[in-house]
């Protein structure tokens, strides 16, 4: 569930403002890939539910949030879902292109701008995300984790797996919520 996203949207609809507190959370992450995918599935399923609930009356939502808030809601909630769902399709399109003329220029004038924007988006998107990852790790002095930053494409594909699971679960089991096991660190760490 994503009660934080839903509460944030509801507070904004009543003209309250939310902000993020700059702090560190010490919540433990899932240790196993299966648990991690189930957790992300639950989160994305909650985003789907939040988006659908608030979009039942889009004109009312627009009036209550204003244009900026409405667009922000679409980008943050809807965009998170949409980007996770379409991400693997871009890999497929890239594979088709590489299998063809190895990123050869398109044969039509209409195709050239599309090709240019696509290649730029791919390179700039990954480069920007990875640069931010490196900067965040440097800021936190977590240099030992820098080897993980180039694994972002794999991470995003796993998010896509969770997104498709979320859509499927929302359609066939809307009230099923896969809980994440917590408390392992508390059980393994000795008391002080």
Q: What is the spatial distance between Cα 156 and Cα 83, in angstroms, rounded to a whole number?
A: 10
Q: Which residue has the higher pLDDT, 141 or 121?
A: 141
Give domain status of residue 67, yes or no.
yes
Give domain status of residue 119, yes or no.
yes
Give the pLDDT band of residue 31 (cuts 50, 70, 90). Answer: confident
Q: Of the given ranges (44-53, 138-147, 150-159, 183-192), which has the lowest mean pLDDT? A: 183-192
Give domain status of residue 171, yes or no.
yes
pTM higher than the cut 0.85: no
Range with top average pLDDT, 56-65, 81-90, 94-103: 56-65
Domain that holds residue 170: 3-20+33-178
Give domain status of residue 188, yes or no.
no
Give the pLDDT score at 107.
66
Give domain status of residue 25, yes or no.
no
Give domain status of residue 192, yes or no.
no
Cβ-based burial of 171 (10 A; exposed 0-12, middle 13-18, buried ≥19) = exposed
User: Nearest-CA neighbor of 64 among 131, 15, 107, 22?
Assistant: 15
Residues 6+ apart with CB under 8 A from 118: 93
Structure tokens at 190: 């000795």
Q: Of the given ranges (26-35, 38-47, 178-187), which has the lowest mean pLDDT? A: 178-187
Q: CA dist 170 to 44, 80, 82, 163, Å?
A: 10, 16, 15, 10
User: Nearest-CA neighbor of 174 among 56, 74, 53?
Assistant: 53
Average pLDDT of the residues in 66-83: 95
Give the count of domains, the chain.
1
Give domain status of residue 84, yes or no.
yes
Please say if the pLDDT value at position 192 is more than 80.
no
Give domain status of residue 41, yes or no.
yes
């Amino acid at each position: 569930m994503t009660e934080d996203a839903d509460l944030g949207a509801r507070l904004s609809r009543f003209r309250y403002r939310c902000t993020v507190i700059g702090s560190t959370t010490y919540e433990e992450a899932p240790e196993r890939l299966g648990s991690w995918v189930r957790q992300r599935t639950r989160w994305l399923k909650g985003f789907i539910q939040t988006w659908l609930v608030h979009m039942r009356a889009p004109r009312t939502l627009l009036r209550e949030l204003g244009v900026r808030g409405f667009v922000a809601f679409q980008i943050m909630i809807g965009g998170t879902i949409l980007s996770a769902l379409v991400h693997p399709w871009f890999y497929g399109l890239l594979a088709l292109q590489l299998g063809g003329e190895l990123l050869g220029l398109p044969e039509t004038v209409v195709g050239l701008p599309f090709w240019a924007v696509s290649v730029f988006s791919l390179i700039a998107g990954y480069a920007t995300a990875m640069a931010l990852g490196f900067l965040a790790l440097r800021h936190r002095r977590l240099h030992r984790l820098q080897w993980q930053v180039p694994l972002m494409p794999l991470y995003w594909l796993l998010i896509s797996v969770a997104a498709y699971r979320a859509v499927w679960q929302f359609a066939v089991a809307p009230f099923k919520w896969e809980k994440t096991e917590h408390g392992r660190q508390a059980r393994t760490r000795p008391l002080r």
